Amino acid sequence: MIELRGVKKTYYTEGKETPVLFGIDFKIEEGDYTAIMAPSGTGKSTLLNILGTLDKPTEGKYLFRNRDLTELSDDELSRMRNKSIGFVFQLFNLLGRVSVLENVLLPLLYAETYPKEARERALRLLDMVGLGDRVHFKPNALSGGQQQRVAIARALINEPDLLLADEPTGNLDSMSSEEILQIFDEIHRKGRTIVVVTHERDVALRADKIITMKDGRVFSEERTR
Amino acid sequence: MKSRSGRLFRIFGHAVRALADQKGKTILMMLGTAVGIMLLTGVVGLSRGVEKRIEEVMAFMGPRSGMVFAGGGRLQSAGARAGSGSTLKLQDVETLRNKLSDRAVFSATLRREGVQVKYEGQAWETAVFAVDPDFPIVSDWAIAAGEPLDYHDEKSLARSCLIGATVARNLMIEDDPLGKKILINRIPFTVKGVLEAKGTNTMGMDMDDCVWTPLSTGMRRIFHATSIRMVRFKVREGYSIPEVREEVERILKEAHKIKEGEEIDFTIRTPDFIAKRIMEMTRTARLVGYSLAIVALLVGGIVLMNILLLSVSERVPEIGLKRAVGATANDIFLEFIMESVSVSVLGMLLGIILGFIPLLLLPRLMPMLPMAFSFKSLTYGFIFSAAVGIFFGVQPAKRASRLTPIEALR
**Inter-chain CB proximity B7 and A83 less than 8 Å:** no
- Look up residue B150 and give its amino acid: D
**Inter-chain CB proximity A87 and B21 less than 8 Å:** no
Q: Which of residues 12-31 of B touch A (CB under 8 A)?
A: 14, 17-18, 21-22
**Inter-chain CB proximity B3 and A78 less than 8 Å:** no
pLDDT at position B86 is 64
Selected for mutation to probe chain B from A110, A119, A156, A166 (highest B CB count within 10 Å) is A110
Q: How far apart are CA B68 and CA B266, in angstroms?
A: 7
**Among A87, A114, A154, whose Cβ lies nearest the Cβ of B10?**
A114
pLDDT at position B259 is 81
Q: How far apart are CA B248 and CA B93, in angstroms?
A: 10
**Helical spans, DSSP H, in B150-270:** 151-155, 165-170, 215-217, 241-255
Query: Which residues does chain A have within 8 Å of residue B4's beta carbon, measured at their own beta carbons?
Result: 112
Whether B317 contacts chain A with CB within 8 A: yes
Residue B96: in which H helix or E strand, if any?
A: helix B90-100
Residue B286: in which H helix or E strand, if any?
A: helix B271-314
Whether B319 contacts chain A with CB within 8 A: no
- Nearest chain A residue to B17, by CA: A98
- Nearest chain A residue to B18, by CA: A97
pLDDT at position B79 is 40
Q: How far apart are CA B377 and CA B401, in angstroms?
A: 34
Whether A141 contacts chain B with CB within 8 A: no
Cβ proximity of B252 and B87 under 8 Å: no
Cβ proximity of B116 and B125 under 8 Å: yes
CA-based Rg of chain A, rounded to a whole angstrom? 17
**Among B21, B325, B328, whose Cβ lies nearest the Cβ of A97?**
B21
pLDDT at position B82 is 42
Cβ proximity of B134 and B105 under 8 Å: yes
Is the ipTM beyond the 0.90 threshold?
yes
- State how far the alpha carbon of A87 is from the alpha carbons of A94, A154, B332, B383, in Å: 11, 8, 19, 42
- Look up residue A182 and give its amino acid: Q
Cβ proximity of B360 and B40 under 8 Å: no
**Inter-chain CB proximity B321 and A111 less than 8 Å:** no
Q: How far is A46 from chain B (nearest CA, A)?
A: 9
**Inter-chain CB proximity A55 and B322 less than 8 Å:** no
The helix/strand count (H/E) of chain B reads as 14, 10
Q: How far is A85 from chain B (nearest CA, A)?
A: 8
- Domain A2-95+160-223: give its CATH code: 3.40.50.300
Query: Which residues does chain A have within 8 Å of residue B325's beta carbon, measured at their own beta carbons?
Result: 81-82, 87, 106-107, 110, 154
Residue B87, phi then psi, degrees to nearest 5:
-85, -10
Neighbours of A186 (CB within 10 A): 12
Q: How far apart are CA B318 and CA B140, in angstroms?
A: 73
- E strands, chain A, where? 2-13, 16-28, 33-37, 59-64, 67-68, 85-88, 162-166, 193-198, 209-214, 217-223
Query: Which residues does chain B have within 8 Å of residue A164's beta carbon, measured at their own beta carbons?
Result: none
Q: Is residue A13 very low, low, confident or very high in pLDDT (cuts 50, 70, 90)?
A: confident
- State how far the alpha carbon of B45 is from the alpha carbons of B55, B351, B367, B371, B380, in Å: 15, 13, 14, 5, 12
What 3-state class would DSSP assign to B76?
A: coil
- Look up residue B244 and give its amino acid: V
Q: How far apart are CA B58 and CA B47, in angstroms?
A: 16
Along the 410 residues of chain B, how does pLDDT read in single tens digits? 455 678 899 999 999 999 999 999 999 999 989 999 999 888 888 888 888 888 887 777 777 888 898 877 554 333 433 434 467 888 899 899 999 989 999 999 888 889 999 999 889 999 999 999 999 888 888 889 999 999 999 999 999 999 999 999 999 998 899 999 999 999 999 999 999 998 887 667 888 999 999 999 999 999 888 888 889 999 998 898 889 999 999 999 888 888 877 788 888 888 888 888 888 888 888 899 899 999 999 999 999 999 999 999 999 999 999 999 999 999 999 999 999 999 999 999 999 999 888 888 877 887 777 788 888 888 888 999 999 999 999 999 999 999 999 989 88
Selected for mutation to probe chain B from A20, A49, A54, A102 (highest B CB count within 10 Å) is A54
Query: Which residues does chain B have within 8 Å of residue A76's beta carbon, measured at their own beta carbons?
Result: none
Query: Which residues does chain B have within 8 Å of residue A158's beta carbon, measured at their own beta carbons?
Result: 326
Query: Which residues does chain A have within 8 Å of residue B322's beta carbon, measured at their own beta carbons?
Result: 106, 109-110
pLDDT at position B84 is 40
Cβ proximity of B148 and B213 under 8 Å: no
User: Over the range A27-65, which residues count as b (16 or more CB within 10 Å of their CB) and which as e?
Assistant: ebeeebbbbbbbeeebbbbbbbbbbbbbbbbbebebebe
**Inter-chain CB proximity A89 and B409 less than 8 Å:** yes
Bin B158: left if φ > 0, else alpha if -120 < ψ < 50, else beta: beta
Q: How far apart are CA B354 and CA B35, in angstroms?
A: 8
> pLDDT by residue (tens digit) across A153-197?
999 999 999 999 999 999 999 999 999 999 999 999 999 999 999
Q: How far apart are CA A99 and CA A109, in angstroms?
A: 15
Q: How far apart are CA B401 and CA B410, in angstroms?
A: 16
Q: State the average pLDDT over residues A62-90.
A: 94
Cβ proximity of B203 and B53 under 8 Å: no
pLDDT at position A86 is 96
Q: Which of residues 236-265 of B touch A (CB under 8 A)?
A: none
Q: How far apart are CA B374 and CA B380, in angstroms?
A: 10
List the one residue out of B214, B215, B188 whose CA is nearest residue B90. Answer: B215
Task: Give me the half-sphere count of Cα atoms (radius 13 Å) on the Cβ side of residue A218.
Answer: 18
By CB neighbour count within 10 A (0-12 exposed, 13-18 middle, 19+ buried), where does B367 fall?
exposed
| Sign (positive or negative) of CA dihedral A187, A193, A196, A202 | positive
Whether A106 contacts chain B with CB within 8 A: yes
Beta bridge partners of B323: none
Neighbours of B210 (CB within 10 A): 23
Share of chain A above pLDDT 70, in %: 100
List the one residue out of A139, A163, A205 whose CA is nearest residue A48. Answer: A163
Provide the residue ranges of all domains of chain A, joining segments of one domain with +. 2-95+160-223
> pLDDT by residue (tens digit) across A33-67?
999 998 877 788 889 999 999 999 999 999 999 99
- Nearest chain A residue to B21, by CA: A97
- Nearest chain A residue to B318, by CA: A95
Residue B214, phi then psi, degrees to nearest 5:
-60, 150
Beta bridge partners of B212: B129, B162
**Inter-chain CB proximity A110 and B331 less than 8 Å:** yes
**Inter-chain CB proximity A110 and B6 less than 8 Å:** no
**Inter-chain CB proximity B326 and A107 less than 8 Å:** yes
Whether A97 contacts chain B with CB within 8 A: yes
**Inter-chain CB proximity A78 and B318 less than 8 Å:** no
**Inter-chain CB proximity A109 and B320 less than 8 Å:** no
Q: How far apart are CA B69 and CA B82, in angstroms?
A: 7
The Cα angle at residue A23 between residues A22 and A24, in degrees rounded to 5: 120
Selected for mutation to probe chain A from B1, B4, B325, B404 (highest A CB count within 10 Å) is B325
Q: How far apart are CA A159 and CA A121, in angstroms?
A: 10
Q: Roughly what angle, to the nearest 10 degrees, separates helices B23-61 and B356-365?
A: 50
